[in-house]
């Protein structure tokens, strides 16, 4: 693979109750466990960051496919829900649901574009076969 960009970040402190900062300083934030996991929930957490990244990346892939096919995806949106929970092996795992909204397309075309985006999105390619990813296409 020919790397064209590398993101860098450093996590310090108490891990999920620590601090994260990108090398360029554009992201600089405190982390905290969500209340559902026994934390105070006052900072963001890795699952929220993953959800935001996956949603943005998938939306970009969707727009790229739409441009290639000359399809109008104005007013489109992608939401991501990232769940975390214990696995049978004693660790923790993730599950993702991507909710794709393509209000200006017939349902069949929206489903087709969503599947094509899932094949080219770097997050989808990184997670394929590793975690459950569910695609949901809504009309509004």
74-124 confidence digits (pLDDT tens):
999 999 999 999 999 899 999 999 999 999 999 999 999 999 999 999 999
Looking at the predicted structure, is the pLDDT value of residue 140 above 80? no
The answer to whether residues 121 and 57 touch, using CB atoms and an 8 Å cutoff, is yes
CATH fold of the domain at 1-44? N-terminal domain of TfIIb (2.20.25)
CATH of domain 46-138: 3.30.300.20
pLDDT digits (tens, 9 = 90+) for 23-38: 999 999 999 999 999 9
Q: What is the pLDDT at residue 139?
A: 74
What residue segments make up the domains of the chain, in order of their start? 1-44, 46-138
Write out pLDDT tens, residues 43-57. 999 999 999 999 999
């Amino acid at each position: 693979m020919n790397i064209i960009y590398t993101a860098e970040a450093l996590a310090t402190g108490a891990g999920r109750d620590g601090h994260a900062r990108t090398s360029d300083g554009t992201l600089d934030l405190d982390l905290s466990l969500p209340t559902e996991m026994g934390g105070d929930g006052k900072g963001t957490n890795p699952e929220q960051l993953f959800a935001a990244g996956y949603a943005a990346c998938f939306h970009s892939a969707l727009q790229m496919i739409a441009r290639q096919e000359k399809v109008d995806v104005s007013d489109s949106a992608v939401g991501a829900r990232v769940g975390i929970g214990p696995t049978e092996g004693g660790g923790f795992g993730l599950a993702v649901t991507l909710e794709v909204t393509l209000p200006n397309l017939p349902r069949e075309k929206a489903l087709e574009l969503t599947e094509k985006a899932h094949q080219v999105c770097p997050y989808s390619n990184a997670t394929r076969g590793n975690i459950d990813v569910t695609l949901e296409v809504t009309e509004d």
